[in-house]
Amino acid sequence: MNIGAYIVRRLALMVLVLFGVLVITFTVSHVIPADPVGAILGPQAPTHLIDKINAEWGFDKPLYEQFLMYLRNLLRGNLGKSIQTNNAVLDDIMMRWPATIELSTTALLFALMLGIPAGIISAIKRNSVLDHFVRVFSISGLSMPVFWLGLMLLFLLYFQMGVLPGVGRLDTSIEIGRRITGLYTVDALLQGNREAFINTVRHLIMPAFVLGFSATGSIARITRASTLEVMQQEYVNTAKAKGLSERLVVFRHILRNALITPVTIIGLTYGGLLEGSILTETIFAWPGLGRYATNAFMMLDFQAVMGVTLFIAVIYSVANLLVDILYAYLDPRVRI
Partner 1 sequence: MTETKKGWLYRHRYQLEDIRLMVRLLNESLTAKIGIILLSCFVFMAIFGPTLSPYKPLVQDLTNRFVPPSSEHPFGTDQLGRDIFSRVLYGSRISLVMGIVVTSILFVIGTTLGLTAGYFGGRVDELLMRLTDMFLAFPSLILAMAVAAALGPGLFNTMVTIAFVAWPRYARLARACCLQVKEETYIEAAKAMGMSHGRILFTQILPMILSPLIVQATINLGGVILTAAGLGFLGLGAQPPEPEWGLMISEGRRFISNQWWVSGFPGIMILLVVLGFNLIGDSLRDVMDVRMRR
Can you give the binding site for partner 1, defined by CB under 8 A? 16-18, 20-21, 23-25, 28-29, 32, 34, 139-140, 142-145, 147-149, 151-152, 154-155, 159, 271-272, 274-276, 278-279, 282-283, 293-294, 297-298, 300, 305, 308-309, 312-313, 316-317
Angle, vertex CA 194, rays to CA 193 and CA 196, nearest 5:
70
* Least spacing, CB of residue 8 vs partner 1, in Å: 18
Gyration radius of the chain over CA positions: 24
For partner 1, give the closer residue by CB, 106 or 280.
280
* Least spacing, CB of residue 120 vs partner 1, in Å: 20
d(CA 277, CA 104): 7
Where would I find the H helices in 144-193? 146-153, 184-190
**Measured torsion, CA atoms of residues 46, 47, 48, 54, in degrees rounded to the nearest 10:** 120
For partner 1, give the closer residue by CB, 244 or 318.
318
* Least spacing, CB of residue 207 vs partner 1, in Å: 15
* Least spacing, CB of residue 165 vs partner 1, in Å: 14
d(CA 49, CA 33): 19
CB 119 within 8 A of CB 262: yes
Does the CA dihedral 181-184-186-187 come out positive or negative? positive
d(CA 135, CA 121): 11
For partner 1, give the closer residue by CB, 271 or 288.
271
Q: Give the burial class of 8: count Cβ atoms within 10 A of its Cβ; 0-12 exposed, 13-18 middle, 19 or more buried.
A: exposed
For partner 1, give the closer residue by CB, 140 or 181.
140
Where would I find the H helices in 82-162? 89-124, 129-143, 146-153
* Least spacing, CB of residue 149 vs partner 1, in Å: 8
For partner 1, give the closer residue by CB, 78 or 140.
140
For partner 1, give the closer residue by CB, 275 or 331.
275
* Least spacing, CB of residue 331 vs partner 1, in Å: 21
For partner 1, give the closer residue by CB, 16 or 45.
16
* Least spacing, CB of residue 195 vs partner 1, in Å: 27
